[in-house]
Amino acid sequence: MEIFKGIKKIAYEGAQTKNALAFRFYDPERVVLGKKMSEHLPFAMAWWHNLCAEGTDMFGRGTADKSFGEKYGTMEHARAKVDAGFEFMQKLGIKYFCFHDVDLVPEADDIKVTNARLDEISDYILEKMKGTDIKCLWGTANMFGNPRYMNGAGSSNSADVFCFAAAQVKKALDITVKLGGKGYVFWGGREGYETLLNTDVKFELDNIARLMHLAVDYGRSIGFKGDFYIEPKPKEPMKHQYDFDAATAIGFIKNYGLDKDFKLNIEANHATLAGHTFEHDLRIAAINGMLGSIDANQGDPHLGWDTDEFPFDVYTSTMSMLEIINAGGLTGGINFDAKTRRPSYTYEDMFAAYVLGMDTFALGLINAEKIIKDGRIELSRKQRYSSFADGIGRQITEGKVTLEQLSAYAEKMGRPALPGSGRQEQLQEIVNQLLFG
């Protein structure tokens, strides 16, 4: 039964179309830098925002009806969400989905009942996947919503809560593997603290790592070949979260010997909450060999929280796609961890939001290709470091000089010349020329 009646398959119609439900820039077959757009841009649908979230905020209830004709809190509703999700992805040509355990089924008081529900719904999802090219990008366990996680999951002060979290991770891994998921995410929603007065930070970090090691051991034992991801976020819901940003999460991963199994899932709005640009965190992940997957969205510079808006900022998508291409692409995908604004509550808005997000990334890709093919930016960056190409610079990078030798060199040289212009304005003008010229 069709759920999104009146909404046809979304087609590429080109930049001039006036049709709201058509792609202007995302043409899956178009070849960019030797690869199809659809391969550069492995888009994923987020179960939670798209099929569950109704626009509730701190001041009011939801505006969107996500019942899909069934009663909330029932397995009929859980199935209707699967039907809606698959129809949605097929109409948009999206090949991946991501989920939390409790996005799929209502949580029961007894975990055995919840797990049986997860078995049932994952059977149904598998059935729906057959005959389509839709796959699971990653799964995760929601270890932040229920009150038991008020003090965290891996970082909880309660050993019983730690055990419960472990049970949820186990089941979420089972389902992820069953659905052929490429990755498994840990977003440490409440892995952090409100005050040091009651917190043993070292103990909490050690315990988070323990839970992750247990997850790796179990995941590998059931045949999970994909990547585990940490999704960094500096704050919200906690005042201070341990996985603050890419650099912090990488330090944690290496410190605890998790680097063979873990990469990062970088979310745009989390990077900006940490005071970085999205592309900054992508670069930090990439240079450490840990750029796995991304959660595409954007925040609002005037608001200090995670607004999870659909990406619209083409400068950011351009710079992000440059980072991704320069890193050799993503091993994961581009998950729209984004929600429509509360007054955009219709089915048409759900589709239009994904059209916007997909077109914004397609534009980013098209622009990144222009910048790469033009070559001036890369050349200028290389030239900026040319003093290290030979002479004393080369000896430094080859580790062939001591501090004494460098000191002697400096004394002989006297005062060094200024290091050369950064040319920032000239480079920005080149970007504008390539984007709009």
- Binding residues for Co ion, per CB under 5 A? 267, 295, 337
Q: Interface with ligand XUL includes 267 (CB under 6 A)?
A: yes
**Contact of residue 185 among ligand XUL, Co ion, none (CB under 5-8 Å per partner type):** ligand XUL
x-or-dash pattern for ligand XUL, window 177-206, by CB under 6 A?
Answer: --------x-x-------------------
CA angle 234, 320, 239 (to 5 degrees): 5
Q: Which is nearer to Co ion, 332 or 434 (CB)?
A: 332
For residue 237, whether the previous peptide bond is cis, meaning omega lies within 30 degrees of 0, is: yes
Q: Which is nearer to ligand XUL, 144 or 218 (CB)?
A: 144
Q: Interface with ligand XUL includes 140 (CB under 6 A)?
A: yes
Residue nearest to ligand XUL (CB): 187
Out of 261, 295, 323, 359, the only residue in the binding site for ligand XUL (CB under 6 A) is: 295
Torsion, Cα 46 47 49 55, to 10 degrees, reads 170
**Catalytic center residues:** 100, 103
Q: Which is nearer to ligand XUL, 174 or 306 (CB)?
A: 306
Q: Which is nearer to ligand XUL, 23 or 186 (CB)?
A: 186
The answer to whether residues 197 and 155 touch, using CB atoms and an 8 Å cutoff, is no
Q: Which is nearer to ligand XUL, 10 or 333 (CB)?
A: 333
Out of 204, 306, 309, 369, the only residue in the binding site for ligand XUL (CB under 6 A) is: 306
Length of the chain: 437
Distance of CA 365 to the CA centre of its chain: 17
Torsion, Cα 114 208 269 370, to 10 degrees, reads -110
- Helix (H) or strand (E) holding 97, with range, is strand 96-100
Helices (H), 148-232: 159-178, 201-221
Q: Interface with ligand XUL includes 86 (CB under 6 A)?
A: no
Q: Interface with ligand XUL includes 83 (CB under 6 A)?
A: no
CB of 246 to Co ion, least distance (A): 14
Out of 171, 233, 276, 339, the only residue in the binding site for ligand XUL (CB under 6 A) is: 233
Please give the Cα distance from 110 to 115 (Å, whole number): 9
**Contact of residue 298 among ligand XUL, Co ion, none (CB under 5-8 Å per partner type):** none
Total of residues contacting ligand XUL (CB under 6 A): 10
> Which residues, at least 6 apart from 145, have a Cβ–Cβ distance to it below 8 Å?
102
- Considering only the C-alpha atoms of the chain, give the largest distance between any 2 of them, rounded to a whole number of Å: 82
Residue 257, number of CB atoms within 10 A of its CB: 11
- List contacts with ligand XUL (CB under 6 A): 100, 140, 185, 187, 231, 233, 267, 295, 306, 337
